[in-house]
Structure 1
Amino acid sequence: MKVNFESLIDELKNKKIRLSHQRLKVLEYLTTNYNHPTADQIYNGLHDEVPTLSKTTVYNTLSSLLDAGLIRAINIEDNEVRYDINTHDHGHFKCESCKNIYDFNIDIDLFEADQLSGFEINDKNVFFKGTCRSCIADGKE
């Protein structure tokens, strides 16, 4: 999925989110790294380029982007929040060997949950875990 960085900047402006250099770098990182990074990975990936960047700024920026609906937070492991620039409904596969997370297309609305009739559903996620093709080919099963 290719994300239009300029349209994201326009959306930030429309939502009255101040455009600082550090915020733009975090957003740029998310649009160019489709590996569903954690906040720490974003911080470590940008710190050399933006030495004034703090972890607090990364977390605050991610919070603003989440509130604006420009990214999604995904929890595949109990204590691991990752961030996804793709806000459309899709599934995730986490390789238990290399720890990479892959997107896949799925019609989430096909899943029926009759037991939830009358409930308000705010988010839908589909997660699979296993071994990716690359790790299988490399014998890392």
Structure 2
Amino acid sequence: MRNIDIFLREKGIKPSYQRKRIYEFLHQNPIHPTVNDIYWALIHDIPTLSKATVYNTMNLFNEHGLIDIIPIEGNESRFDLHPIKPHAHFKCDACHQVFDVEIEIPPHLISKELAGCQVETQNINFTGVCSACMEAKNSKVI
């Protein structure tokens, strides 16, 4: 990735050390992290980091269009760098990982109720058990 300082400034965000490190983490770890995931991944390198700082930074990144908030869990948001291509998400109930799912909805399948509306965000989420967890579960059956 090119210079994060310049990138954040171009997006209208003051590039503090913590913001740069959080963005760098998101860029290098496309794991759809939670605030807790980000906090625990960075706290050892940034002892002054707080969960409030991570939360506020994620809100700032969202306001400036750098990330999407994935509403796939009821109690905690996950985050995705602003996608290049529209996609859905699948959350495995066994291992709790969130995977990208390529999906494209043809315009003719979009509900008539949305005619004349400007859709800003589209979230399609699936939950279940991923193939790796299913395979592990099936291999334990005798």
Q: TM-score range by the shorter chain?
A: 0.7 to 0.9
- Aligned match of 1:50: 46
Aligned pair 1:87/2:83, yes or no?
yes
Structure 1, unpaired ranges of 5+: none
- Cα distance in 2, alignment partners of residues 135 and 61 from structure 1: 33
Aligned pair 1:115/2:113, yes or no?
yes
CA contact (8 A) 1:97 1:135 kept: yes
TM-score by length of 1: 0.86
- Aligned match of 2:11: 15
Shift in Å at residue 86 of structure 1?
4.0
CA contact (8 A) 2:31 2:98 kept: yes
- Aligned match of 1:134: 132
Relative to structure 1, the CA distance from residue 101 to residue 55 in structure 2 (aligned partners, 3 Å threshold; closer, same or farther) is same
- Aligned match of 1:72: 68
- Cα distance in 1, alignment partners of residues 113 and 39 from structure 2: 41
CA contact (8 A) 1:29 1:42 kept: yes
- Cα distance in 1, alignment partners of residues 126 and 3 from structure 2: 31
Relative to structure 1, the CA distance from residue 69 to residue 109 in structure 2 (aligned partners, 3 Å threshold; closer, same or farther) is farther
CA contact (8 A) 2:65 2:82 kept: no
Q: Calculate percent identity across the aligned residue pairs.
A: 38
TM-score by length of 2: 0.86
Query: How many positions carry a matched residue from both structures?
Result: 137
Q: Deviations over 1:15-49 (max 9, x none)?
A: 33111111111011111211111111111111111
Q: Deviations over 1:36-87 (max 9, x none)?
A: 1111111111111110111121112111211111111110122221110142
RMSD of the TM alignment (CA)?
A: 2.0
- Cα distance in 2, alignment partners of residues 6 and 63 from structure 1: 23
Q: Deviations over 1:104-124 (max 9, x none)?
A: 211134541123223332211
- Aligned match of 1:97: 94
